[in-house]
Amino acid sequence: MGSAGAVATAAILAAIAVPQYQQYMLRSQVSGALAAADPVKLAVAGRRLATGKFPANNAAAGLGTAESLGNDYAGSVEVGQGGEIVVTMDATPPHKTDAKLDSGQIILTPKLDGKTITWTCSGEGIDPKNMPATCRDEPAQL
């Protein structure tokens, strides 16, 4: 294969690989934001087990402010009515979120099944293909 063929092959590979890599980066940022909800899920579940009710806000769950619970990709993690957790992505520095995901939300909804709490996951303002596999089904259980 001549140099023109090698260049054409490289261009085709780049046309396939670059979008796939960008997709991977967006999905990893959403997963990173979702990780900020892990300790919040524990707090919400603990409060439900202790009081018999899901907390309606961060304070009732024994947590700090929504902004204090964020991470590199999540600007805030907020507990709402019924123990629902909303993770809001933030592209404003110092956060590292891509602008395509800015203000997108991951919503975790608790459900009591006997003595077990399960979580469903959905998103708003985030392309479903950028959601983690555990959240791509509408709604998915975690």
Q: Where are the domains of the chain?
A: 3-141
Distance of alpha carbon 111 from alpha carbon 100, whole angstroms = 31
- What pLDDT is attached to residue 110? 96
Does the structural domain 3-141 have CATH classification 3.30.70.360? Answer: no
Sorted by sequence, the CB contacts under 8 Å of residue 98 that are 6+ apart come out as 25, 26, 29, 91
pLDDT per residue rounded down to tens, the chain (142 residues) = 567 666 666 566 556 666 677 888 999 999 999 999 999 999 999 999 999 999 999 999 999 999 999 999 999 999 999 999 999 999 999 999 999 999 999 999 999 988 889 999 999 999 999 998 878 665 555 5
